[in-house]
Each structure stands twice: as C-alpha cells, then as structure tokens.
Amino acid sequence: MNKKNEYSQLIKAEAKRLGFLSCGISKAEFLEDEAPRLENWLNKNHHGEMKYMENHFDKRLNPTLLVDDAKSVISLLLNYYPSESQNPESYKISKYAYGQDYHFVIKEKLKELLHTIQTEIGEVSGRAFVDSAPVLDKAWAAKSGLGWIGKNSNLLTQQVGSFYFIAELVIDLDLEYDHATTDHCGTCTACIDACPTEAIVAPYVVDGSKCISYFTIELKENIPTEMKGKMDDWIFGCDVCQDVCPWNRFSKPHNEPLFNPNPELLSFTKKDWDEITEDTFKKVFKNSAVKRTKLEGLQRNIKFLR
C-alpha cells in the first residue's frame, strides 16, 4: 500500500470513529464546473438579501486561496436525523436545529481529526470548515463521491438520504482521491412539486430568495405578504423538499447525544409557541442554532402565520 493510500485509509477510519457517516477525499483545485453555475445564480439574484454570497467569489471556488499550499479536501457527513418528531399540532422547526448548534459539535470533531492526522502522519497544516467560510460544501462532497446534488440542490446519498451536515478539512497533504458518483434523481420531481413557495424554479436550481428557510432565518425585514398561506407552519427553516424525497426513506436516527432535542421542544403546541417567554426560549434553545433568529425573529415568523 502506498503512503497516499495508507494515509487516506487512516483518515477515513478516524472519521468513522468520531461518528461521521462517511468521508470522501478530493484534490484541492479550482471548481471549474461550479464557476458559471454560481455566477449565473448570483446574476439572477437567487441569493436575495444574502449579500455575503457575492463576496469572495474566487475563494468559494478555489480552496488553495483559503489554505496555503492546500492539496486535499476531506469532506465529511454527519447524520442529524432525529428519532422523535415535534408535536404535529405545533409550529415547525427544521430537524437540523433540534439539538445543539452543529457548528460547535462538528468543529470539535474536526479539531480531533486534524490532531490525529498530525500525530499519526506528522507535519500537516489544515483548516476546518463548518458552514462558516466561503466553501461550496455540497460541490466538494459530490466531487469526493459522497453523493450527488439533487433537484432540490441538496446532496443526496443512496441508502442514507440527505439529513446530514457537510463539513470539510482542507489540508496540505497529498492523498488518494475518490471519484464522483452518478445522479439518481431520475424522472422524480417530488421536491419540485411539494415546495410550498415554488422555490425550486427548475430541476437543480433553487431560488434562495423564495425559500422558507430564507424567509424564516436569513431575511431581516418583514416576510413578503404574498407568502401568506404558503409557509406551511414553518417558523425556523423548512424540511419539505427533504421530507418528500424518496431517498430519505432510508434515513436512520443519528447517534450523537448533543443533537438530541430538549424534551420540552417536542411537546410544544402552537399555544406554547404563541406564549413563549425569553426565559423559556433561552432554556429550550440553549446552544441551539435557533438562537440565530433571536426570540424576536421567531415571534415575527409566528405572527406572520396567524
């Protein structure tokens, strides 16, 4: 076994030990196919008020501009599919936000992975990315064979579905590279047909500025009145295009204790949400991604649904 292969196997074994669903590796280079796609998406203003998407265009496409002498992008998936659901009589929040904020949970795992690489292999420099820098997570995961980008623009994986987080470790070490997999969406249009706000404007193209996740989390102004009656009771994020995807029949519950929800969240009714206080908000969503909207943001979203 050559060194590249040996190192790659070691990294994948460690990723598995840390609880990652899967790990794929690709060469750190300019994402040629993604450049026109991203440019087109921005030109059509599909990012709405998310102006940060316009920044660092080159860095989004080229990891060597983010990490000196970058050689490899290690892509990792971490399952967040919950074993229990919210009360059906409640307003809805996206499954990824049930437990603790994934940024912190994954960052710790990535630090440990990098530490192991440095201990076992030697002088290796790198940087961990969890949705926190201009990195095209889904493109890298697809390039390294972890799945394909589906018609709802999420990464999909056979036997697993799409309820997982994607993270990367970009390092200055040559490794054995994986290959992209094939698209298995076929003629299915379940996600396009089910989107309450018709945000999937064409197969594989999502107008982010029409997405319920955008309205409930990113948009700081008032939700446009034409969305009245289309929000499907979502107050933080939206899972519709994932819930209807046939590949998510294969989703299995995660085994990360930090992603377990506060039991109070699961029992909440609409009345509980309507009357939520700052104290309850802080207690139920302590260390949760839901804190991004603050209580006022949640209350704005709830008010819009009434």
The per-residue pLDDT for 232 is: 94
Instruction: Report how far residue 294's alpha carbon sits from residue 163's, in angstroms, rounded to the nearest whole number.
Output: 24
Rounded Cα gap, residues 273 and 269, in angstroms: 6
Decide if 31 contacts 136 (C-beta within 8 A): yes
Which residue(s) pair with 168 in the sheet?
A: 75, 129
**Measured distance CA(218)–CA(208) in Å, rounded:** 10
Which residues neighbour 248 within 8 Å (Cβ) at sequence distance 6 or greater? 161, 162, 163, 242
Digit-coded pLDDT (tens) for 108-156: 999 999 999 999 999 999 999 998 777 889 999 999 999 999 999 999 9
Which residues form the catalytic set? 131
What pLDDT is stored for residue 31 in this prediction? 87
Give the residues across from 169 on adjacent strands: 74, 128
The answer to whether residues 252 and 81 touch, using CB atoms and an 8 Å cutoff, is yes
Half-sphere exposure of residue 265: CA atoms within 13 angstroms, side-chain side? 25
pLDDT of the residue at 52 = 67
Provide the residue-wise pLDDT of the chain in tens; the chain has 306 residues.
689 999 999 999 999 999 999 999 999 998 888 877 877 777 887 777 777 676 777 878 889 888 889 999 999 999 999 999 999 999 999 999 999 999 999 999 999 999 999 999 999 999 999 987 778 899 999 999 999 999 999 999 998 999 999 999 999 999 999 999 999 999 999 999 999 999 999 999 999 999 999 999 999 999 999 999 999 999 999 999 999 999 999 999 999 999 999 899 999 999 999 999 999 999 999 899 999 899 999 999 999 998
Query: What pLDDT score was predicted for residue 249?
Result: 95
User: What was the pLDDT predicted at 135?
Assistant: 82
pLDDT of residue 1: 63
Q: Could you report the per-residue pLDDT of 133-146, keeping only the tens digit for each?
A: 778 899 999 999 99
